[in-house]
Amino acid sequence: RILSVNGSAVDATIAAMFCNGLHNQQSMGLGGGFFMTVYIKEEEKAYTVNARDKAPAAASKDMFNGNFDRASK
């Protein structure tokens, strides 16, 4: 639908991510992390977007082990 009303492939991708994010909120969406490669034909260049989430420097893989109250905030 997005492409049929003169939207770009990026517009269509964002729309699809929004819809998938509603269905799989725990796994993806505009508020979560993602990678995207965008090719601009006129420039003959590819650009990458790295929107992966990043943990604070003080985070550790076991920082919430045994502490349910802290993990749920």
Listing DSSP states for 13-72 in one string gives: HHHHHHHHHHH-TTT-STTS--EEEEEETTTTEEEEEE------TT--TTTTTT-HHHHT
β-strand partners of 38: 47
Residue 52 annotated as binding? yes
For tokens 């045994």, name the residue: 66
List, as residue ranges, the binding site.
52
List, as residue ranges, the binding site for L-glutamate.
52
